[in-house]
Amino acid sequence: MKDFITEPARNIPVIAETDICIAGGSCTGVFAAIRAARLGAKVLLIERQNCLGGVAVSGLVNIWHTLMDISNKRQIISGLTEEVIDRLYARGALTKQNARSSSYNFNPCELTVLLDRMTAENKVKVMLHTSYSAVVREGDKVKAVIIENKDGRQAIRAKFFIDATGDGDIARDLGISRFVHEYIQPPTAVFHLQGNMDGVSLRELIEAHGKEFGLDDDWGWNTHVAGVQDITMRADNHVFGVRCDRADDLTAAEIEGRRRAMAFVDMVKAYGRSGEHYAMTNLCSYIGIRETVHYDTVFRAIGRDLLLGREYEAPILHGTYPVDIHHQADNGITFRYLDGFEQTIYGKGTRTVNGNWREREGLTGEPAQFYSVPFDILVCRDYRNFTAAGRMINADADAFGALRVMVNLNQLGEAAGTAAALCLDSGCDQRKLNGRLVTAALNRGGSAL
Ligand SMILES: Cc1cc2nc3c(=O)[nH]c(=O)nc-3n(C[C@H](O)[C@H](O)[C@H](O)COP(=O)(O)OP(=O)(O)OC[C@H]3O[C@@H](n4cnc5c(N)ncnc54)[C@H](O)[C@@H]3O)c2cc1C
């Protein structure tokens, strides 16, 4: 039987009245804020960490994928993603990698400071160390959110609210219907490693010594950190079987994730290149969460439609990042690309199986050059002045595997901020907003849609 205490009623001071209040300050939330501010809205952004950037900064995940279609001829993503890329590049804080899924590699410390600068330039009011904690609604209208920070519990009134908390904390409290995929993509504690790993086979090390250090038959990936010498970003391990939207699981994932990160360092210290000095120089300030729950909206993205490049009247994002599923069951990863190529890599990278999903399905003709997602994916059925943007996106498991990357969620954030500002202008309910107006406003604001 559950035990309860009744919290005494109390008056909560309203510390701000604003046009748009955004909870969660990853690039999804920041880009929503900047887009709305550029359309003339007064915007307040709350973030529970000490900095903006979300997983890209606090989780040390420093790769954004290509802005081009698969033929590399047409630019399909621009907007604030490109602005940030240009500004980081100008500072030597970003490099371009050319691989099958070409990407931009940045320095997360530089991104932190740039996001501070960009929010200030666009007159977005930012509150750090401030957590969303409850919502106040009246009928189908969200009236206020309750926040907590060093000043205590306070309220913010706004005309429109955007939930960019990743897990959809406001959506949860609003009782919006939610769903969980059968296999949730596992989290990873990323760290920075000093020391040369050239010639060191991680697969062989784990095979020979993994058990000694409590490391699973698992594999991940690593990359350099732009502008930094002798340091690699390591995302080598996963924590399996946890639901990071549950407090106990999240605590367990944090502790196990960093144990694994340090075990990896201990293993390379013991068995890496002889004479090489290895050290962990930075550990994510929280575990990188790939997935928790998803919330229903008017439109659900389906993996097959993405891979076939289905077109929509009112697109709000374009992408090419493949379906990328980190398996829960056998520690493998499957990639499925628009051009048909499919690759599954099993535990430790020991076995790779290549195939072609288009040939398997007997598809002929030209593959799609990119995929799109329509405005309706942001439209919340139940509330007139609320939307959620981020990894809580309404997508089936395959579509989520593709959409979850930051170049896609950045665009989703831009669309959410744009839609919110348009609703303010027209005084309309987001459910009645014409998606084509959002696409047009995104284009005018620099998106390549
Ligand atoms: C290990 C790992 C590797 C990945 N690799 C890549 C990659 O190479 N490239 C790529 O593009 N993507 C990658 N991804 C995916 C991508 O990073 C995430 O899908 C994306 O960052 C999710 O963005 P988001 O805005 O939804 O959430 P988040 O980045 O998690 O941001 C949510 C923000 O909301 C804040 N917040 C949460 N709750 C509250 C609250 N109650 N009050 C106030 N603030 C709150 C958080 O502090 C955070 O700043 C990876 C993810 C992981 C974990």
Tens-place pLDDT, residues 140-177: 999 999 999 999 999 999 999 999 999 999 999 999 99
Q: Are 142 and 204 in a shared domain? A: no
Q: Are 319 and 236 in a shared domain? A: no
The residues pairing with 26 across neighbouring beta strands, listed in sequence order, are: 53
| Residue 201 and residue 207 in contact, taking contact as beta carbons nearer than 8 Å | no
Please give the number of the atom of ligand 1 that sits closest to the Cα of 65.
Answer: 11
User: Which residue's CA is minimally distant from atom 53 of ligand 1?
Assistant: 288
Question: In this predicted model, what pLDDT tens digit does every residue of 228-267 receive, in sequence order?
Answer: 999 999 998 899 999 999 999 999 999 999 999 999 999 9
- Give one word for 189, left, alpha or beta, with left for phi > 0 and alpha for psi -120 to 50: beta
Classify residue 295: in a domain, yes or no. Answer: no
Alpha carbon distance 84, 103 (integer Å): 14
Q: Are 178 and 199 in a shared domain? A: no
The pLDDT of residue 201 is 87
Q: Are 198 and 332 in a shared domain? A: no
Q: Are 24 and 161 in a shared domain? A: yes
Q: Are 24 and 128 in a shared domain? A: yes
pLDDT greater than 80 at residue 349: no
* Closest residue by Cα to residue 39 from 422, 386, 411: 422
The pLDDT of residue 207 is 87
User: Which residue's CA is minimally distant from atom 7 of ligand 1?
Assistant: 63
Alpha carbon distance 400, 404 (integer Å): 6
Q: Please name the amino acid found at residue 50.
A: N
Question: In this predicted model, what pLDDT tens digit does every residue of 362-402 receive, in sequence order?
Answer: 999 999 999 999 999 999 999 999 999 999 999 999 999 99
Alpha carbon distance 131, 29 (integer Å): 14
Q: Are 37 and 146 in a shared domain? A: yes
Distance from residue 18's CA to the centre of ligand 1 (Å): 25
Q: Are 161 and 251 in a shared domain? A: no
In the block, which residue shows the tokens 């621009």?
A: 78
The pLDDT of residue 441 is 98
The pLDDT of residue 324 is 87
Average pLDDT over residues 210-222: 88
Q: Which region among 95-104, 124-133, 341-350 has the lowest average model confidence (pLDDT)?
A: 95-104
Judged on CB neighbours under 10 Å (0-12, 13-18, 19+), 306 is buried
Distance from residue 112's CA to the centre of ligand 1 (Å): 14
Total count of domains within the chain: 3
CATH number, domain of 101, equals 3.50.50.60
Q: Are 104 and 217 in a shared domain? A: no
Find the distance separating the first CA and the last CA of the chain, reported in whole Å: 54
Classify residue 449: in a domain, yes or no. Answer: no
Q: What is the pTM of this model?
A: 0.96
Classify residue 75: in a domain, yes or no. Answer: yes
Among 46, 55, 222, 224, the mutation site with the greatest number of ligand 1 atoms within 8 A of its Cβ is 55
Distance from residue 166's CA to the centre of ligand 1 (Å): 6
Pocket around ligand 1 at a 6 A CB cut-off: 23-26, 28, 46-49, 54-56, 59, 61, 63-65, 131-132, 164-166, 169, 187-188, 190, 235, 288-290, 390-391, 404-407, 409
User: Which residue's CA is minimally distant from atom 51 of ligand 1?
Assistant: 290
Question: In this predicted model, what pLDDT tens digit does every residue of 290-340 receive, in sequence order?
Answer: 999 999 999 999 999 999 999 999 999 999 999 988 776 667 788 999 999
Q: Which region among 113-122, 130-139, 332-341 has the lowest average model confidence (pLDDT)?
A: 332-341
Question: For residue 26, what are the domain limits?
Answer: 14-182+376-444
